[in-house]
A and B are shown apart, each in its own frame.
Chain A
Amino acid sequence: MTATALPSRSRVQPSFVRYQFETAYDEMFSAPGVPREHYQALHRTLLGLPQEELLKRQQAADLTFLHEGITFTVYGSKEGTEKIFPNDLVPRIIPSIEWAKIEKGLTQRLTALNMFLRDIYHEGRILSEGLVPRELVYSCKHFRREMRGLNVPRDIYVSICGTDLVRLPDGNFAVLEDNLRVPSGVSYMLANRKVLKRVFPTMFRDYGVWPVDHYPQALLATLRSLTPENCQYRQDPTTILLTPGVSNSAYFEHTFLAQQMGIELVEGRDLLVHDNVVYMRTTAGLRRVDVIYRRVDDDFLDPLCFRPDSILGVPGLFNAYRAGNVTIANAIGTGVADDKAVYAYVPEIIKFYLNEEAILPNVPTFLMTNGKHRNHVLQNLEKMVVKAVGESGGYGMLIGPHSTEQQREEFRARILAEPRNYIAQPTLSLSCAPCLIDGEVESRHIDLRPYILMGEKVTLVPGGLTRVALRKGSLVVNSSQGGGSKDTWVLREGNGEDRVAKIPSFERKAG
């Protein structure tokens, strides 16, 4: 199944000696030793750099991350909970034509999912038509009855989304997961870019890459476009970022985004609600809050409404929200649409609301509530990836081919006990890309998480977070499970020749 990247060992350049080929789609090579057109310049650069130089640049980059404290927290790990997010220096390159399709596909998908959320929290047309089973929606643990009949600004429930895409062996992108609650990782997209521009300045300029640096500004514009009706100063709403606090795994990102947007980073204990109005406690007294970009899960937002033991939230916040005095983004209860069982119905959801075929396909998914599916999966557990429907971040997952007999038995029992709680997908061979491992280029599996913003208009920053499964052969890219990331370059037209003075065309009116 495997072969070295270059035809004969004697002619092999040192940096690609250990590069392996698999059945998976290879981002760089169309055949062993033959780089794809958009990767040629990068391939040449890597071949031209001696191993020590590569190592040196990687170390310089690692040091930057450490000194700037670009870290995340791993839960349940004993030794020092703060870790650097491993960064890989070899960029991932996406040609403009492929990006155009991703952009169209994601805009379509998010538009439909927002319509779906509006529908299930109001009339429930799609449920009456029987296209999505009622019990599937109502049994989802992220479905919030409290949201029934509540109108949100512009009918936008999900304004910040980070969808996980994978490239299938045939080279097409497919959606692996919709992250519609509090997707994270965008700060690493920006940090990777900053570091890479420092490490490979010339190559970066010659390639003609779309910038991503305007993301914070676009995010702020999106949040402000969702200002509630009852806001006193509609021109200048007070917008804040609500964080669970310093022990949260994405705390670095919260501080980073707040700083870049120039808004206050607030914890639950800084806020209070009086007469259904949210205030924050400042040195100059209490100040009214209009828009909350929350990075706190639904469960912890308001102890009076959701989990009563939460100290991260603000008592009375939900009532203020209901009264239309404050916007919470993303809205409460969006998790029902990224439930992994509901995911299976997304192509139908798109068809129902937009009367279009899904531009980006789903990955085949087996529902454990369906007897036929379940039997098939239980008989082929060693070939399947089993996921808990409400989890994210790579927790609660079984990777069939890399599992032990004992783990499989454990999951078999769990599936039979709670079929609604699990789905299975055939093990996908995620595409491979060159990565720098100990000064040599090797191939590793990757995915792609672009970030979509939806407010007055839809904004996709051309780029995203390419996550890397750094362990050899591993298919798990989550940062909490030993994954890393690399910079993602979306090319301008024609590999950069006409890159001068073109305004990004990646913004469009929401449908």
Chain B
Amino acid sequence: MLSRVADSLYWMSRYLERAEHTARLVDVELQLWLDQSPETGAGRWRFLLEGLHAPGAKGAVDAAKLMNALVFSRTNASSIVSCIATARENLRHVREQCSSEMWEQLNRLYLNVMQTSPDEAWMVKSHGFFRAVQEGTHLFQGITDATMSHGEGWQYIQLGRYVERTDTLASLMEAHFKRNAQPAEQVVESAEYLEWVALLRSCLAFEAYCKAYTAEIRPLRVAEFLILTPEFPHSVRFSVDRINAALHVIGDLTERREKSPTRIAGRLRAQLSFSQIEEIMVQGPHAYLENVRSECAAIHSAIHEIYFDYPIESEMAS
């Protein structure tokens, strides 16, 4: 597979994951806003920006402007519309690599969001928009899995999605833990309860959590669930497992299994597999998640260096 093609598929997938993540977070925030007192509400916006690692987290925040920046702005490369447009552009560069159904779906999603404008009417029914973005990306994933051959290209799509997911999940939790008291075993009440539920919902994890631990919200268990559960698709460990699986297949296909991406990802995976939540709390969840993010960044650079943009000289010598 051409390096440029792999690069485009990887980024396409990352951008789409980012769009979905942002849509989910903003949607959850808007719902939560309704339940909160005005003062807490204003504070939450800042938290949202921190969770997304977006600029402008300082100073007063205007809801309409913020919404525009996160959803529609074309100057913010991480806004939902920008992400979907960039994802589409990436796929357009490698259209012949994906199935026609995939292209059609992404193109439809793109045309749909491009038609939307941030006016009064939109603010009222914005929930529908965020749902459409999330459904659109889920549909794209489903179509990808059902119609594209699960070869090397598909693996880069997996890789992009889970690298992005690991990073965004870790960012979100980092911001959350920074803001709230050290997660404890006790069940939380009212105001705090809303915050923890919002975190779960932001990771699509509320229902799955309830199945595992009932509706009693115990912060320590929430943290455990989101970081260490191997079965839940929006947990850090699940995402890192997937990164590993994809890198192994790619490594075999390209005879590059011994190289650095596999090694770094394996190290991170081992760490997550054998960690206990109590230990993490002693070490400090903030530091732990920061380490996850920096390892994730290292995996990203290694993929780039080994598969996308390697020096020609080394290849000629071998």
Query: Which residues on A are within 8 Å of B, measured CB to CB?
Result: 66-69, 245-246, 251-252, 255-256, 258-259, 264-267, 269-270, 272, 274, 280-286
CB distance from B6 to the nearest CB of A (A): 5
Interface positions of B from 61 to 98, Cβ below 8 Å from A: 89, 92-97
Q: A66-B111, A68-B100, A255-B96 given as contacts; is B315 within 8 A of A285 (CB)?
A: yes
CB distance from A480 to the nearest CB of B (A): 20
Docked pose: A283 CA to B95 CA in angstroms:
18
Contact A274 B316 (CB under 8 A): yes
Q: A69-B103, A246-B93, A255-B96 given as contacts; is B250 within 8 A of A283 (CB)?
A: yes
Contact B108 A67 (CB under 8 A): yes
Q: A246-B93, A265-B96 given as contacts; is B315 within 8 A of A286 (CB)?
A: yes
Contact B4 A270 (CB under 8 A): yes
Contact A284 B4 (CB under 8 A): no
Query: A266 — which chain B residues lie within 8 A by C-beta?
Result: 2
Interface positions of B from 94 to 126, Cβ below 8 Å from A: 94-97, 100, 103-104, 107-108, 111
Contact among A256, A272, A284 for B96, CB-based, below 8 A: A256
CB distance from A460 to the nearest CB of B (A): 25
Total A-B pairs in contact (CB under 8 Å)?
Answer: 72
Q: Is the CB of B152 closer than 8 A to any CB of chain A?
A: yes
Docked pose: A252 CA to B95 CA in angstroms:
8
Q: A68-B103, A69-B107 given as contacts; is B3 within 8 A of A283 (CB)?
A: yes
CB distance from B5 to the nearest CB of A (A): 8
Query: A270 — which chain B residues lie within 8 A by C-beta?
Result: 2-4
Docked pose: A281 CA to B254 CA in angstroms:
12
Docked pose: A280 CA to B256 CA in angstroms:
18
Query: B89 — which chain A residues lie within 8 A by C-beta?
Result: 246
CB distance from B47 to the nearest CB of A (A): 38
Query: A280 — which chain B residues lie within 8 A by C-beta?
Result: 2
Specify the chain A residue showing the minimal Cβ separation from B106: A69
Interface positions of B from 170 to 217, Cβ below 8 Å from A: none
Docked pose: A510 CA to B186 CA in angstroms:
85
Docked pose: A282 CA to B2 CA in angstroms:
4
Contact among A251, A267, A272, A283 for B254, CB-based, below 8 A: A283
Docked pose: A282 CA to B13 CA in angstroms:
19
Contact with A along B1-43 (1 / 0, CB 8 A): 1111110000000000000000000000000000000000000
Interface positions of B from 288 to 318, Cβ below 8 Å from A: 307-308, 310, 312, 315-316, 318
Contact B3 A282 (CB under 8 A): yes
Contact B253 A284 (CB under 8 A): yes
Q: A67-B108, A69-B103 given as contacts; is B3 within 8 A of A281 (CB)?
A: yes
Contact A272 B2 (CB under 8 A): no
Contact B315 A246 (CB under 8 A): no
Contact A281 B92 (CB under 8 A): no
In the complex, 7 of the A-B residue pairs with CB atoms within 8 angstroms, ordered by the A residue number, are A69-B103, A246-B89, A246-B92, A246-B93, A270-B3, A283-B1, A284-B1
Contact B96 A286 (CB under 8 A): no
CB distance from B154 to the nearest CB of A (A): 13
Query: A256 — which chain B residues lie within 8 A by C-beta?
Result: 96
Contact B3 A255 (CB under 8 A): no
Q: A259-B96, A283-B250, A284-B256 given as contacts; is B104 within 8 A of A269 (CB)?
A: no
Q: A69-B107, A246-B92, A272-B312 given as contacts; is B100 within 8 A of A283 (CB)?
A: no
Specify the chain B residue showing the minimal Cβ separation from A286: B315
Specify the chain B residue showing the minimal Cβ separation from A281: B3
Query: B254 — which chain A residues lie within 8 A by C-beta?
Result: 282-285
CB distance from B164 to the nearest CB of A (A): 19
CB distance from B297 to the nearest CB of A (A): 20
Contact A67 B104 (CB under 8 A): yes
Docked pose: A283 CA to B316 CA in angstroms:
14
Query: Which residues on B are within 8 Å of A, measured CB to CB?
Result: 1-6, 89, 92-97, 100, 103-104, 107-108, 111, 152, 250, 253-256, 307-308, 310, 312, 315-316, 318
CB distance from B163 to the nearest CB of A (A): 16
Query: B152 — which chain A residues lie within 8 A by C-beta?
Result: 283
Query: A66 — which chain B residues lie within 8 A by C-beta?
Result: 111
Query: B107 — which chain A residues lie within 8 A by C-beta?
Result: 67-69
Contact among A252, A255, A267, A283 for B307, CB-based, below 8 A: A283
Contact among B4, B104, B253 for A281, CB-based, below 8 A: B4
Docked pose: A265 CA to B5 CA in angstroms:
9
Q: A283-B6, A285-B315 given as contacts; is B255 within 8 A of A68 (CB)?
A: no
Docked pose: A252 CA to B312 CA in angstroms:
30
Q: A67-B108, A283-B250, A284-B254 given as contacts; is B6 within 8 A of A259 (CB)?
A: no
Docked pose: A245 CA to B94 CA in angstroms:
10
Docked pose: A66 CA to B115 CA in angstroms:
14
Contact A281 B2 (CB under 8 A): yes
CB distance from A195 to the nearest CB of B (A): 13
Docked pose: A66 CA to B6 CA in angstroms:
26
CB distance from B143 to the nearest CB of A (A): 13
Docked pose: A328 CA to B158 CA in angstroms:
36
Contact B95 A255 (CB under 8 A): yes
Query: B315 — which chain A residues lie within 8 A by C-beta?
Result: 285-286
Docked pose: A251 CA to B103 CA in angstroms:
15
Contact B2 A264 (CB under 8 A): yes
CB distance from B108 to the nearest CB of A (A): 6
Specify the chain A residue showing the minimal Cβ separation from B306: A283
CB distance from B37 to the nearest CB of A (A): 46
Docked pose: A272 CA to B100 CA in angstroms:
30
Query: B3 — which chain A residues lie within 8 A by C-beta?
Result: 270, 281-283
Contact B1 A282 (CB under 8 A): yes
Docked pose: A256 CA to B253 CA in angstroms:
26
Docked pose: A259 CA to B100 CA in angstroms:
10
- Given A69-B104, A285-B254, A286-B316, 4 other A-B residues pairs in contact with their CB atoms under 8 A: A69-B103, A255-B96, A259-B96, A286-B312
Docked pose: A284 CA to B310 CA in angstroms:
10
Specify the chain B residue showing the minimal Cβ separation from A252: B95
Contact B312 A259 (CB under 8 A): no
Q: A246-B92, A258-B96, A283-B307 given as contacts; is B4 within 8 A of A267 (CB)?
A: yes
CB distance from B314 to the nearest CB of A (A): 9
CB distance from B316 to the nearest CB of A (A): 6
Docked pose: A69 CA to B100 CA in angstroms:
10
Docked pose: A67 CA to B107 CA in angstroms:
6
Specify the chain B residue showing the minimal Cβ separation from A265: B96
Specify the chain A residue showing the minimal Cβ separation from B103: A69
Docked pose: A283 CA to B104 CA in angstroms:
27
Query: A272 — which chain B residues lie within 8 A by C-beta?
Result: 312
Specify the chain B residue showing the minimal Cβ separation from A274: B316
Specify the chain B residue showing the minimal Cβ separation from A262: B96
Of the listed residues A269, A270, A283, the one surrounded by the most CB atoms of chain B closer than 10 A to its CB is A283
Query: B108 — which chain A residues lie within 8 A by C-beta?
Result: 67
